[in-house]
């Protein structure tokens, strides 16, 4: 072996071992919770809105996937003590599986049924069983296997939510077929469900998540993860379908690196963000199957930076397990379908452990994350999103994501804002309000006093330097409604936002800045009649009225006495609002919103001209900015 080859091999082994250690860091606290005679782990956290059995299965299946990745990795690299560390996990997972799938056991998990959460966990377990055949599945006695397979069969024929959940039913039937206890009809159902899933394709590699009507990080969590697992495990049954899905993953991953900032963090956007580094799930599987368009040194760096970013945050709860939250434990932000074991979906991020050591993923020179190199913007028309990197951060301009009526209960704040930015985060709502007021326009009907935001949104323009969309601020129970057409342009950390509104009743319209997580003892503010900026710990926000708004107000939480926590990144926050009381009228509102770290960039703009079709602004740091667009009204 040449010296260079030896160096590459050693470098790959070091990188691989670091991934094994990351996995073990998450696994180690679980050992203390593994009680003999139980089929679940007592991971602390709120209960889901499913049922106790569903939560029990989650506490087993999701950690099993993590352990299966780590245990499988020992086939490539085993160090002293690894096999001994594995033994108590192997023993517990085996006995828990036997108890949980035995209907005569007091710890039986219960059968699956129409639309039950068990369908999700059973599909996940099929992957886990395939990964652990040599130490788990092969260790089961024939009678134990029979009971397990009968348990899985209780999912056959069930209704699955018409979204990414259909993958789970597919995995269950594929596993049953492989174990020779399926029927020919299963193959027909698999084909039908795949045709349904393929019908949710929008273009550019993006899928709409079915009945949820949303487009978010579930494209990474699910669509470009489960499809690749199916190809890896069962793809021999339909080679043409494999190529279709591989092609979609290539398209999706082409621009996906832009969704991570220079530290590896993605913007908090969409549901289930408590899965955190789950956002990197497709990179490893795509590299394993040879379908990744991302250079291996870049893919590895994104995965490592993303995981280390969160592991360096206080994301662990009192038992040492992954918590329900974003930067720290914050259960109020988590969906009703989640429970204490749910965050272990983050196990998907460990797919790199499946990649062989001789793959370039481990030996290629590290490549910088695009956000660390330059500012750029990509418009993805199909999902209605524009992603741009700016000053090392990643920002999602949200042109067209939807909030289906069935998704309101999961939190409108996950899809309803105009933009989402790494390093900033957002507010959830409180006091019964449907919408928080940051990063977008909201309306408050004085009769109902509810804060209402965008719901169904139709993109009008999606470009690399601007966007436009049409939506309504309202809710059916109040029959209050404000039609809004929003246009946005951007430069550096600034957004120029124009709202054309048609109000059908008296309303208070408010445009909110980004909400800034702060240290209350380190907050500085600069304010004038039409402009305000706030900084804390080197991060800042700014908001400037260009026309139409009447006042600037605050919505802050700087002490525990000021109500419950609202910000996903920390206990305290500041938010600035531009306000306008409107009657039954039409009009325009224009403002500029900024987020970043450079105070010189945050200062107010000089307005040279706001004439029809031509707006001219100037900034002492950024220079002149000319915007020519026929939709621009005369504001002064």
- Tell me the CB-side half-sphere exposure of residue 52, using CA atoms within 13 A: 5
Last residue of a domain, one of 348, 373, 398: 373
* Mean pLDDT within 162-178: 95
* CA atoms within a 13 Å half-sphere pointing along the CA-CB vector of 211: 11
Within a domain: 164? yes
- pLDDT over threshold 80, residue 8: no
Tell me the sheet residues that pair with 390: 393
Which is higher by pLDDT, 430 or 195?
A: 195
Strand order in the sheet with 419-421: 376-380, 385-390, 393-398, 419-421
Q: What gap in Å lies between CA 376 and CA 393, rounded to an integer?
A: 11
Total domain count, the chain: 2
The answer, yes or no, to whether residue 194 has pLDDT greater than 80, is yes
Q: Measure CA 183 to chain center.
A: 37
Q: Which residues constitute the domain of residue 619?
A: 376-628
pLDDT, one tens digit per residue, over 516-558 is 999 999 999 999 999 999 999 999 999 999 999 999 999 999 9
The whole-number pLDDT of residue 482 equals 94
Instruction: Say if residue 440 is in the same domain as residue 359.
Output: no
For residues 610-626, average pLDDT: 97
- 634 domain residue, yes or no: no
Domain membership of residue 633 (yes or no) is no
Q: Is residue 635 part of a domain?
A: no
Average pLDDT (614-634) is: 97
The verdict on 201 and 144 lying in the same domain is yes
Statement: residue 492 has pLDDT above 90:
yes
Domain boundary among 330, 348, 373: 373
pLDDT band at 449 (very low <50, low <70, confident <90, very high): confident
Q: Has residue 214 got a pLDDT over 90?
A: no
pLDDT class for 405, splitting at 50, 70, 90?
confident
Tens digits of residue pLDDT in 63-79? 999 999 999 999 999 99
Predicted pLDDT of residue 476:
78
Does the pLDDT of residue 455 top 80, yes or no? Answer: yes
| Cβ 617 vs Cβ 556: under 8 Å | no
Same domain, 327 and 439: no
Specify whether 382 is located in the same domain as 249: no
What gap in Å lies between CA 599 and CA 579, rounded to an integer?
25
- 571, part of any domain: yes
Pairwise CA distance, residues 108 & 40, whole Å? 10
Kindly state the tokens that stand for 270. Answer: 């969409």
360 and 436 in a single domain? The answer is no
User: Within this chain, do residues 291 and 430 fall inside the same structural domain, yes or no?
Assistant: no
Identify whether residues 337 and 418 lie together within a single domain: no
- Per-residue three-class SS string for 497-514: EEEEEEECCCEEEEEECC
Write the pLDDT tens digit of every residue in 29-61. Answer: 999 999 999 999 999 999 999 999 999 999 999
User: Does residue 59 sit in the same domain as residue 161?
Assistant: yes
Asked whether residue 570 is assigned to any structural domain, the reply reads: yes
Specify burial of residue 431 (Cβ count, 10 A radius: 0-12, 13-18, 19+). exposed
- Within a domain: 291: yes
Q: Give the tens place of pLDDT for each residue, 225-279.
A: 999 999 999 999 999 999 999 999 999 999 999 999 999 999 999 999 999 999 9
Over residues 201-209, the mean pLDDT reads 95
Beta strands in 206-340 (DSSP E): 206-207
- Do both 186 and 75 map to the same domain? yes
155 domain-assigned: yes
The tokens of 174 are what?
């594929």
Q: What is the pTM of this model?
A: 0.95
pLDDT at residue 210, as a whole number: 76
d(CA 55, CA 118): 9
The proportion of the chain whose per-residue pLDDT surpasses 90, expressed as a percent, equals 89
User: What is the layout of strands, in order, in the sheet containing 606-611?
Assistant: 606-611, 614-619, 623-628
Asked whether the predicted pLDDT for residue 433 surpasses 70, the reply is: no
Expressed in angstroms, the distance from the first to the final Cα of the chain is 74
Check whether 600 has a pLDDT greater than 60: yes
Last residue of a domain, one of 373, 401, 428: 373
Same domain, 433 and 349: no
629-636 mean pLDDT: 92
Average pLDDT over the chain reads: 94
Closest CA to 217 of 142, 308, 291, 282: 282
In CATH, what number is assigned to the domain containing residue 594? 2.70.98.70
Q: Are residues 30 and 178 in the same domain?
A: yes
Q: At residue 320, does pLDDT exceed 60? A: yes
Is pLDDT of 1 > 60?
Answer: no
Same domain, 330 and 347: yes
Residue 413 CB partners (closer than 8 Å, separation 6+): 426, 427, 428, 429, 435, 436
């Amino acid at each position: 072996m040449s010296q260079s080859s030896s160096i590459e091999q050693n470098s790959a082994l070091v990188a691989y071992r670091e991934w094994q250690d990351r996995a073990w860091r998450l696994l180690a606290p679980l050992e203390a919770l593994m009680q003999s005679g139980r089929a679940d782990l007592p991971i602390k956290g709120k209960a889901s809105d499913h049922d106790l059995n569903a939560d029990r299965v989650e506490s087993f299946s999701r950690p099993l996937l993590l352990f299966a990745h780590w245990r499988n990795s020992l086939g490539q690299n085993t160090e002293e003590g690894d096999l001994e560390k594995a033994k108590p996990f192997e023993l517990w997972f085996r006995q828990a599986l036997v108890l949980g799938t035995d209907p005569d056991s007091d710890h039986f998990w219960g059968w699956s049924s129409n639309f039950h959460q068990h369908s999700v966990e059973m599909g996940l377990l099929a992957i886990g069983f395939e990964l652990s055949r040599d130490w788990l599945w092969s260790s089961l006695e024939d009678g134990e296997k029979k009971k397990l397979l009968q348990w899985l069969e209780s999912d056959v024929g069930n209704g699955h939510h018409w979204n990414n959940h259909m993958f789970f039913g597919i995995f269950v039937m594929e596993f049953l077929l492989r174990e020779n206890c399926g029927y020919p009809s299963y193959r027909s159902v698999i084909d039908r469900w795949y045709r349904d899933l393929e019908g949710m394709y929008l273009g550019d590699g993006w899928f709409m998540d079915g009945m949820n009507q949303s487009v978010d990080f579930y494209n990474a969590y699910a669509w470009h993860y489960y499809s690749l697992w199916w190809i890896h495990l069962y793809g021999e049954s339909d080679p043409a379908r494999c190529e279709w899905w591989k092609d979609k993953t290539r398209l999706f991953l082409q621009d996906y690196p832009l969704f991570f900032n220079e530290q590896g963090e993605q913007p908090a956007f969409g549901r289930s963000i408590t899965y955190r580094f789950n956002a990197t799930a497709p990179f490893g599987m795509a590299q394993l199957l040879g379908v990744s368009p991302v250079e291996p040194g870049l893919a590895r760096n994104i995965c490592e930076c993303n995981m280390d970013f969160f592991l360096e945050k206080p994301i662990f709860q009192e038992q040492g397990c992954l918590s329900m939250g974003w930067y720290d434990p914050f259960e109020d932000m988590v969906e009703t379908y989640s429970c204490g074991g749910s965050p272990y979906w983050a196990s998907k991020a460990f797919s790199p452990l499946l990649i062989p050591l001789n793959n370039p993923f481990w030996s290629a020179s590290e490549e910088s994350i695009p956000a660390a190199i330059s500012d750029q913007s990509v418009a993805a028309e199909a999902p209605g999103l524009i992603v741009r990197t700016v000053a090392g951060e990643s920002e999602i301009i949200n042109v067209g994501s939807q909030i289906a009526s069935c998704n309101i209960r999961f939190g409108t704040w996950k899809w309803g804002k105009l933009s989402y930015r790494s390093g900033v985060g957002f507010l959830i709502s409180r006091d019964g309000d449907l919408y928080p007021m940051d990063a977008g326009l909201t309306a408050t009907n004085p009769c109902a006093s509810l804060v209402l935001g965008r719901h169904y949104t139709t993109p009008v323009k999606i470009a690399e330097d601007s966007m436009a969309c049409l939506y309504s601020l309202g809710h059916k129970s109040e029959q209050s409604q404000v039609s809004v057409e929003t246009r946005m342009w951007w430069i550096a950390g600034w957004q120029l936002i124009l709202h054309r509104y048609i109000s059908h009743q008296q309303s208070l319209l408010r445009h909110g800045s980004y909400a800034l997580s702060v240290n209350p003892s380190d907050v500085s503010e600069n304010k004038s009649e039409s402009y305000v900026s706030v900084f804390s710990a080197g991060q800042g926000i700014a908001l400037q009225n260009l026309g139409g708004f009447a006042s600037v107000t605050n919505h802050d939480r700087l002490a525990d006495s000021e109500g419950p926590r609202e910000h996903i990144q920390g206990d305290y926050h500041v938010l600035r609002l531009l306000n306008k009381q409107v009657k039954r009228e039409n009009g325009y509102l224009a403002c500029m919103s900024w987020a970043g770290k450079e105070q010189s960039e945050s200062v107010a703009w000089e307005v040279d001209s706001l004439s029809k079709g031509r707006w001219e602004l100037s900034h002492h740091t950024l220079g002149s900015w000319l915007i020519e667009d026929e939709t621009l009204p005369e504001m002064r």
